[in-house]
Each structure stands twice: as structure tokens, then as C-alpha cells.
Structure 1
Amino acid sequence: MASHYQHLSFEERRKIAKWREGKMPVPEIADRLSRPASTIYRELKRNTFLDAELPQYSGYYAVTAQDKYERRRAVHRKLVAYPEVKAAVEDALKAGWSPEQIAGRMRLEQHRICVSHETIYRFAYSKLGLAEAFYRHLPEHRRRRRPRNHRRHQRSHIQDSQSLCHRPAVVAERQEFGHWECDLMMFRKENGKVNVTSLVERVSRFTVLIRNEDRHSEPIMEALIAGLAPLPAEARQSITFDRGTEFSAWRRLKDGIGAASWFCDPQAPWQKGTVENTNGRLRKHLPRSTEPTALTNRYLRSICQSLNSTPRKCLGYRTPAEVFESNLMALRNRLE
């Protein structure tokens, strides 16, 4: 496999300047730096300082060469060359979009100037980006990218639950609209028992949030019934849960809205990965330190609106709201 080309470093340019001052031939400089001679010739041609008025001061100087190199590279960085694109990217990041979502949406909307998600990351971690603290707008707000930690869950067993292994393949493979995943978002104990139900439709990734006053299962199920009841029956066919005791009253769903219930295997919340991933996104708006008084229905609706209007790579950079509405309209047309 061919190795990637490495640009000359400032230290290498210092050596080139010193050796050129000593009249060292270019082939020998290239040999000492383990570089092709063409690289050195190109460096001298591009970055030699020329003074038309005082030609005696013309020559190759390391600091000047490095400065010319950095300026030339900056011109090719779209977020430097096009301030309006940078402003648009920054606004989208502040709205909670990821670099990948921004890049994908630009391609979907066929912008005149598009950027890749790597371009956004490279700018954020470049010298200029770090000077502006641009990384603070990224989803993780970190100076360096690193793997996310996995959440750990401890869940109790639910008697007579319907195992996920019996869930139809059309649900597991996201081939049918109207199947949901559900979880509870908890907050610090000192803030009381208030929690939030997060509900995500598997095909569209459309999210619904519901406030609960405690973790008692029956009120939680009644709130789910009230939240999903306005939808057509085909749009609320099933819900997948983990085995937390807060979902032990799952039979009420079948009686209330006819929705089937499926349960993950013990200690396997990753089997409902759609809602787990959504919870990670929601934590930006609902950290564990959130006060119960802040969890108003209006605030939860605004969070849902923000999340559902954010383009997703898995949806071809369409938004969950667009996909959900499209499926809902198709469903209603079939029923008419």
C-alpha cells in the first residue's frame, strides 16, 4: 500500500535554507531529507522570496517559505476562503447539527459550495480553528476527537414479556412504518423523581418526549397511550422496551391502543439502539442536572422540533419530520 504524501515541515525548511546557503546541490539535500529531488525543486520554486527592487535580498528563507505555504493552504480551505459558508456551518452547529449532517444536507440541497464533514473537523482542529475555539460548536465540545463511552444499564427481569427474538423481521429490518422504541431519561436524584419518556419511530427516527412525575409503570403507560392515540392504528403498531420495571404494565398498551410490546434481552439495551442513540443527542438539551421545573411541555416540544428538523445520514439527509409526514400521508392515502 502506497504511503500518504507528507508536506514539508518547518524544521525541514530550516535545513533546506541552511544547506542552500552553503551551496549544497538539490539532489544531496533531497537525499539527506529522504525526499524526491522534485519535491525540493518544487519547494524552491514556490516558496523562494523574490524582491524586484532589491534582488540581493531574494532567496530561500525558512520563515518566509513556511508563511507562503500556510497562506496557500488556507486559500484552499473552503471555510477560510468562503466566510459565508463558514457562518452557515457555524449556525447549523449551534443549532445542534453534526458536521456529517451539515455536509449531507448541503449535498441534498445542492448548494453552490459544499463542504465535507472532514473539512469541518479539519478546520475546527486547525491552528485558526483552535484560535477561534471553533471546536466548542461541535457536538462533543472536545479539543480532540475520541470514542464515546458506552452507557451501562442495570435492568430487572419482566415476567411474561415478549422477547425480541419473536419480533417480526419486517420490524427488525425497518421495512414497516409504525414501530417505536421507548426509554426513560433519568435525572439527578436530588432533583426528585421526575423523568422523561423518549419515544422514537424506527423508520423515520421521529421523536416524541413525555414528562412523567415518577417511575410508576401504570402512569407511564397511560401517558404513552395518550400520546400515540391520535395516530392511525397502523402508525402505532408496536413499541420495543428494555426490561426496566417502569415498563411492567405493558399489557395496558394492547388494551388501550392495540400496540404490541417487545422487550430486549436482559442487560442488552443496545438492542433498541435507535432510542439509545437519540437519548445521547437529547442529553445536549436535557443533561442530568436539569431541574424538574424546566421540563415543561412547551420546552419538550421545542426540543422535539429541533431534533425532528435535523437532517440524518441514515435518512439520506432528510429530516425525521419529513420522513414521518411522508409515511403518514402514504398510510392515509392507502386507507382512503
Structure 2
Amino acid sequence: MGTHYCHLKLDERRKLAKWLEAKMSISEIADRLGRDPSTIYRDIKRNRYTDGELPELNGYHALVAQDKYEQRRAIHRKMIIHPDLKAAIEDRLKAGWSPEQIAGRMRLERHPIRVSHETIYRFAYSKDGREEQFYRHLPEHRRRRRPRGYRRHNRAHIFDIQSLSHRPERVSERLEFGHWECDLMMFRKEHGKVNVTSLVERVSRYAVVIRNEDRQSKPIMESLINGLVPLPADARKSITFDRGTEFSAWKYLKAGIGADAWFCDPQAPYQKGTVENTNNRLRRYLPRSTAPTALTNRYLRSICHRLNATPRKCLGYRTPAEVFESNLMEIQNRLE
């Protein structure tokens, strides 16, 4: 026997009740169940049924014991004994926050009653959570927890570029504000050529989404220039791309806003992991089945606002908007 205590399961309690009724000794029951005798004594003591009015019903009954066990466990589940807490967590999940972001923000704001992200997941996949279909509020909407898959990229080769290996270390280590990553989000072919550009600043994780009418590179670069030109020069120093041909007109960036362009190695989109992660978040609101022709700039801005107002673990549970605005203020103060 190991030192870790494992609670009895329902099928074990059924056997225990049957063998107790047959007057079997506790030591023999423990041997048959492969349990320590103290485990059996403990379960009988804690889950025995007693009725003062009908003493003939007193005894150990499997279903009653299981129910008492589950009720006792539920007492320690904060999301069950604090319905207001559960409602607040549910509202945040519906707003697009992950369990980890919710728990981290609670710690940052020093809530009197807090939960860990594991508590949220455990409730979602518990008996009570499944009855409410609480898992539908989780980011992946899955019945069971499983690792996320990864997108496959088939990119054409482009030439005359600056390799990511030559990007300054201060940029790679996120020590300098104003460096962005960019990608294109596509939709199903039957919806036409309309797509969106996803752009994210590496330090703050601040996201911008821009609609494109097709995949021609020059118009995409022009839309990037138009989107970034209102920012001070120190807030738009460079953009990192993958090797997609839609980014082949990268030289327009330098001429338009003075921004450098860096490119990942072939078949290595993970090297711009910040925007890849942002794309996964955006897919909650822009699945591949979306009809992109119906996307308005107002709707895309509302999605960005939601993402940028969501706390992030990597930012100490501050929001991308908070970090982005703080860095812009620092730039403004230097200029003054």
C-alpha cells in the first residue's frame, strides 16, 4: 500500500455494504478491496446512515454513503457554496477570459474569495458542472480537457529578406517596446478572398485586426502602414512576418513608416508565437466558417477591445491595453 490516501469508489462501497451485511470482518474486506483496514473503518464511520425514528434502517448503504461523500466534498468547492462567485466567473468566461486569466486577475485585485484556474476546470468537468454544461463557457468548449492542436502552414518561399536570426537580441527578449508580429487569418474558400490581418505588439500583446479584400501584398502593406502611422515612431519600429508571399512587398513598410521587417525561417511560424497565440484567441470570434464579407471595421474593433481588455498571465495579469498605454505614455514623456 502507498502512503497516498485514495477515496473509495461507488463500486467499492457496493461491495463493502454487501460484505458487511454478510458479517464479513473488516480485515477480510480490506484484503479483498486491496485497501488498508483504516480506510474501511473511516468510510463506515463517516458515511454510515442513522435514523433516530427508524433505527432498523441504520447501517451502511452504498448509495447513501456515496451521496454523503459527494455532499461533503461539495462543501469545499467554492463555486458551489458561493453562487455569486460562480456567476462572476461565468460572466468573465463569456467575455472571453480563460480560467487562468480569471484566477490571476483575482490575485492581482486581492479578492477576498479566490479560486485557482484548476478549481474552475474541475468544477466545469465535475458532475455539477456537467449538468449545467459549464464547459461550454470555457475557451475551447470541449467536453474533455485535451491538448490544443496546431495549425499547419504551407508557405511559398520569398527572397531578399532579413532573417529573424539577425534580429537584435533586445527585440527577441522583449526588452524594447514597439516591435510587432503579423499574420494573415484566412476563411473557407467558398467565402471568397476577403481575409484579415492580425497584428500584435510583442511587449504588451496589444492586438490590432485589419480587414483585407484579397491577399495581394502591396494593399496589405498599405493597410499596415495606415493602421500604424498614427503611432509615434518608437511604437512601430519593426514587424516580424512568416514567409507567406502576401508579405513579399515588405519594403513598402520602410518607405512608408520607417519600420524594419524580419522574417521567420521557412516552415517555422512558431518563431512568431505571439501572433500565433493571438490568432488562437481571435478564432473564438472569427472561426473559419465566418463569412468575412460581413465583417465590419466596427465589429473587428470590438473584438480587439475585448482581447486587449483581458488580463494576461505573462503581463502579471495586467491587460494588453494597460501595458500598451503605459509604454505610449513613456514615449510621450521622453518626447516632451
**Would you call these one fold, judging by a TM-score over 0.5?**
yes
Partner of 2:311: 311
Offset at 1:22?
2.5
After TM superposition, the structure 1 = structure 2 runs for residues 12-51 of structure 1, keeping only pairs within 5 Å, are 12-51=12-51
Offset at 1:27?
2.5
Partner of 1:177: 177
Helix, strand or coil for the counterpart of 2:182? strand
Partner of 2:167: 167
Task: Select between 176-185 and 105-114 the one with higher mean Cα deviation.
Answer: 105-114
Helix, strand or coil for the counterpart of 2:240? strand
Helix, strand or coil for the counterpart of 2:210? strand
Partner of 2:133: 133
What is the distance in 2 between the residues matched to 1:62 and 1:97? 41
Contact 2:183 2:242 in 1 (8 A): yes
Q: Please tell me the residue identity of whatever aligns with 1:327.
A: N
What is the distance in 2 between the residues matched to 1:18 and 1:29? 10
What is the distance in 1 between the residues matched to 2:14 and 2:261? 69
Q: What TM-score does the superposition give when structure 1 sets the normalisation length?
A: 0.96
Partner of 1:108: 108
Helix, strand or coil for the counterpart of 2:184? strand
Partner of 2:333: 333
Offset at 1:220?
0.9
Offset at 1:3?
6.5
| Alignment deviations for residues 164-189 of structure 1 (CA, whole Å, 9 cap, x no partner) | 00000011111111000001111122
What is the distance in 1 between the residues matched to 2:324 and 2:114? 27
Structure 1 runs of 4+ aligned residues shifted over 4 Å read none
Unmatched tracts of structure 1, length 5 or more: none
What is the distance in 1 between the residues matched to 2:254 and 2:307? 29
Offset at 1:4?
4.3
What is the distance in 1 between the residues matched to 2:262 and 2:142? 37
Partner of 1:211: 211
Task: Select between 28-37 and 10-19 the one with higher mean Cα deviation.
Answer: 28-37
Contact 2:191 2:293 in 1 (8 A): no
What is the distance in 1 between the residues matched to 2:184 and 2:303? 16
Q: Please tell me the residue identity of whatever aligns with 2:287.
A: P
Offset at 1:260?
0.5
What is the distance in 2 between the residues matched to 1:72 and 1:6? 15
Helix, strand or coil for the counterpart of 1:209? strand
Helix, strand or coil for the counterpart of 1:243? coil
Helix, strand or coil for the counterpart of 1:226? helix
Partner of 1:278: 278
Offset at 1:32?
2.1
Helix, strand or coil for the counterpart of 1:253? helix
| Alignment deviations for residues 309-335 of structure 1 (CA, whole Å, 9 cap, x no partner) | 111111111111111111111222222
Offset at 1:195?
1.0
| Alignment deviations for residues 108-136 of structure 1 (CA, whole Å, 9 cap, x no partner) | 11111111111111111111111111111
Identity, % of aligned pairs? 76
Partner of 1:297: 297
State the Cα RMSD in Å: 1.3
Offset at 1:80?
1.0
**Alpha-carbon distance change, 123 to 176 in structure 1, aligned in 2, over 3 angstroms:** same
What is the distance in 1 between the residues matched to 2:222 and 2:7? 63
What is the distance in 1 between the residues matched to 2:117 and 2:188? 35
Contact 2:194 2:293 in 1 (8 A): no
Offset at 1:84?
0.7
Offset at 1:245?
1.1
What is the distance in 2 between the residues matched to 1:57 and 1:258? 84
Offset at 1:24?
2.4
Helix, strand or coil for the counterpart of 1:180? strand
What is the distance in 2 between the residues matched to 1:5 and 1:254? 64
Offset at 1:5?
2.9
Partner of 1:225: 225
What is the distance in 2 between the residues matched to 1:42 and 1:99? 35
Partner of 2:54: 54
What is the distance in 2 between the residues matched to 1:14 and 1:121? 29
Task: Select between 205-214 and 17-26 the one with higher mean Cα deviation.
Answer: 17-26
Helix, strand or coil for the counterpart of 1:24? coil
Q: Please tell me the residue identity of whatever aligns with 2:109.
A: E
Helix, strand or coil for the counterpart of 1:198? strand
Unmatched tracts of structure 2, length 5 or more: none
What is the distance in 1 between the residues matched to 2:214 and 2:293? 14
What is the distance in 2 between the residues matched to 1:100 and 1:241? 29
Offset at 1:294?
2.3
| Alignment deviations for residues 126-174 of structure 1 (CA, whole Å, 9 cap, x no partner) | 1111111111111111111112222111112221100000000011111
Count of paired positions: 335
What is the distance in 2 between the residues matched to 1:129 and 1:47? 24
Partner of 1:245: 245
After TM superposition, the structure 1 = structure 2 runs for residues 262-273 of structure 1, keeping only pairs within 5 Å, are 262-273=262-273
Task: Select between 190-199 and 20-29 the one with higher mean Cα deviation.
Answer: 20-29
Q: Please tell me the residue identity of whatever aligns with 2:86.
A: K
Contact 2:153 2:267 in 1 (8 A): yes
Partner of 1:71: 71
| Alignment deviations for residues 219-252 of structure 1 (CA, whole Å, 9 cap, x no partner) | 1111111111111111101000011111111111
